[in-house]
Chains A and B, each alone.
Chain A
Amino acid sequence: MTGYIFRRVLQAIPVFFGTTFLIYFMVFAMPGDPVLALFGDKTPSPAVIEQLRQQYHLDQPFIVQYFIYIGGIFRGDLGVSFSGQPVADILARTFPVTIRLAILALLFETVAGILVGLISGLRKGKLFDASALTISLILISLPIFVIAFVAQFVFGVQLGWARTTVGPGAPIQDLVLPALVLASISFAQIVRLTRSSVIETSGLDFVRTAYSKGLSRKRIIPVHILRNSLIPVITYLATDFGVLLVGATVTEGIFNVPGVGNTLYQAIIRGEGPTVVSFVTVMVLLYLVVNLVVDLLYGLLDPRIRFVK
């Protein structure tokens, strides 16, 4: 296991440098003045330009700039937002809200997704299965902002069951609707994954053996079928984290949830390029860490993974 952890962490290092370099390269190695380009058609004041030039060390050669920036990341210095606040401070304030929203969404999508997928897989070809498949396909086709607006309109405006925007402090009851929206697309994917995995596992020899030993369905379904069907679902949750990040940006923006995604959303809408770059970098780093952790957990769950070179 130690060797596996070591190998996996070692693999993550070039990816870390590669992704941060790519983002940095996209922004600061473009022809023309990167500071002006980040502001689009707006013209920032000379003081702001000067401050940004100093912050990003634009007087240095490109590769030196990059390493100064990386050094900053290791010291926890993620730059300064457009309004002058350190990005690390904004993160400290907004991160707990996003974590709460994400945990709620993860809870909805895994519990409901696995349950529906399991029933679907066990009743392959029946009415429940057909409707679950159709609904999941429709959910996958709906862009997240469409789901968000429809939910906001139906449950917030017409039925009045939930508030259309999240109140100060982001209480849990206000986060339920945004979390359901955020969970919807992954829910559909988890249903489909669990379903195909359950169908595949149900046909395996050890399940037939379990039946022939006379075990009850009550024991075979959760212990033999479900547990062995969940590995692809867990892998999916890691790759899905990227979808969750983009989804959180849009959902938090639409429901005005005071989280990390909303900060990015507001910065994008106002065209505050430097803030956008800082927050995208933060999200990508988060994505890398989550994938690393899930991969390590995966090695713990499935011994076969550890021994593959």
Chain B
Amino acid sequence: MRSAGHFVAPLEETPIAAIDDVKVAEKPSNLWIDAWRDARRRPIFWISGGLILLVLVVALFPWIFTQTPPNDQCFLSNSNGGPDSGHPLGYTKLGCDVYSRIINGTSTSLSVGLLVIVLTTVLGVFFGAFAGFYGGWVDATLSRLGDIFFSIPYILAAVVIMSVLSQYRSIWTISLAIGLFAWPSTARVLRAEILRVKQADYITASEALGVSKLKILFRHVLPNSIAPVIAITTISLAGAIVAEATLSFLGVGLGSDVMSWGNDINRAQSDLRTNPMTLIYPSAALSITVFSFILLGEVVRDALDPKARALR
């Protein structure tokens, strides 16, 4: 029979040297540093980051990439023409340079995407933060209001708004039309996270110290629950770009004078049999842009959520 005595861990299992090794002077790690360490080790972070950087440069400085004006110098003699020197992707039905139209359409897509996420983040953070933090009737009212907006698919809502605003088609109105119905998903994500964070001990501690409610919300709760919002915002940006292209494709998006990939795809669809490339090239530009933002959204979400890392 074995004698039951106290179990003492052998010294080599918990080497004292390891405890001595902890560098007290080193900056303590936090969520953001961990996230950056995780993200920078992944190739898809650098691939998507590089693609987005390229898209940004194209949107900001289109003249680096092409000197051909997208709308002028269109000659019907070039209609649906193939590539020739200086015009690598050929011509549209109206004889405009396809390559130049794609380059000059980049800033439209990106502007709409950015405007929409500004709107959805402002509305989503406002609704989500107050609903989650205050609870009770504030939560009930704000959440039901969010449910109503959430129950109308945002592209359908935007179709209605843009039909009514058909005389005022611009980047601003289309972003408003998309963003006005796209914010509830941001609000829901933030609300759920705030419900979790507000249980934490440091929140109770702040309350015990007599910090005002609003100050607790903005100084302690919001900064600690914003991580999932950042991940969903990156993906919403991609969604907004798709929404703009879809609306323009349906003919209720931007006016025909604005350079937009959706408009170009719309105009090229009748030539699918004869000149499919005028449709494929803007579609490819659109898809690659959306792809890079969705890829970045994935990396950001994985990096900020330790639970998601386990799924890889």
Interface residues in chain A, defined as those with a beta carbon under 8 Å from any beta carbon in chain B: 14-15, 18-19, 22-23, 26-27, 30, 34, 37-38, 40-41, 124-125, 137-138, 140-146, 149-150, 152-153, 157, 195-196, 199-200, 242-243, 245-246, 249-250, 254, 265, 268-269, 271, 273, 276-277, 280, 283-284, 287-288, 291
Contact = CB atoms under 8 A, between A and B. Distances in A.
A63 to B, nearest CB: 17
B78 interface: no
Interface of B: 144-145, 147-149, 151-153, 155-157, 159-161, 163-167, 238, 242, 245-246, 249-252, 265, 269, 272-273, 276, 279-280, 283, 286-287, 290-291, 294-295, 298, 310-312
Contacts of B163: 38, 40, 268, 271, 273, 276-277
A288 B290 CA distance: 29
Contact of B272 (A14, A146, A149, A269): A149
Given A22-B152, A145-B246, A245-B153, A40 B166 contact: yes
A213 B312 CA distance: 29
A199 B151 contact: no
A156 to B, nearest CB: 9
A143 B159 contact: no
Q: Is the interface of A mostly helix, strand, loop or mixed?
A: helix
Contact of B291 (A22, A141, A283, A291): A141
Contact of A157 (B152, B153, B160, B272): B272
A41 B166 contact: yes
A153 B311 CA distance: 37
A283 B164 contact: no
A283 B156 contact: yes
A276 B158 CA distance: 11
B166 A277 contact: no
A145 B249 contact: yes
Nearest to B312: A125
Nearest to A288: B151
Nearest to B249: A145
Contacts of A280: 156-157, 159-160
A85 B291 CA distance: 42
B238 A141 contact: yes
A246 B155 contact: yes
A142 to B, nearest CB: 5
A268 B153 contact: no
A134 to B, nearest CB: 9
B264 to A, nearest CB: 12
Contacts of A140: 294
A137 B156 contact: no
Please list the 4 inter-chain residue pairs (A to B) with the smallest Cβ-Cβ separation, ordered nearest first. A18-B148, A40-B166, A242-B153, A141-B291
B295 A143 contact: no
**Which residue among B153, B265, B290 has the maximum number of chain A CB atoms within 10 Å of its CB?**
B153
Nearest to A140: B294
Given A149-B272, A283-B156, A38 B151 contact: no
B156 A37 contact: no
Contacts of B161: 26
A287 B151 contact: yes
A280 B166 CA distance: 17
Contacts of B145: 18
Contacts of A254: 269
A27 B286 contact: no
Contacts of A37: 164-167
Nearest to B298: A137
Contacts of B238: 141
B96 to A, nearest CB: 20
A142 B284 CA distance: 9
Given A149-B265, A153-B272, 18 more contacts: A18-B151, A19-B152, A23-B160, A26-B160, A37-B167, A149-B272, A157-B276, A242-B156, A268-B159, A269-B250, A271-B166, A271-B251, A271-B252, A273-B166, A280-B159, A284-B151, A284-B156, A287-B152
Given A141-B294, A146-B283, A268 B246 contact: no
B52 to A, nearest CB: 13
Nearest to B241: A143
A277 B157 CA distance: 10
Given A37-B166, A143-B245, A138 B291 contact: yes
A202 to B, nearest CB: 11
Contacts of B167: 37, 40-41
A265 B250 contact: yes
B147 to A, nearest CB: 5
B290 A291 contact: no
A146 to B, nearest CB: 4
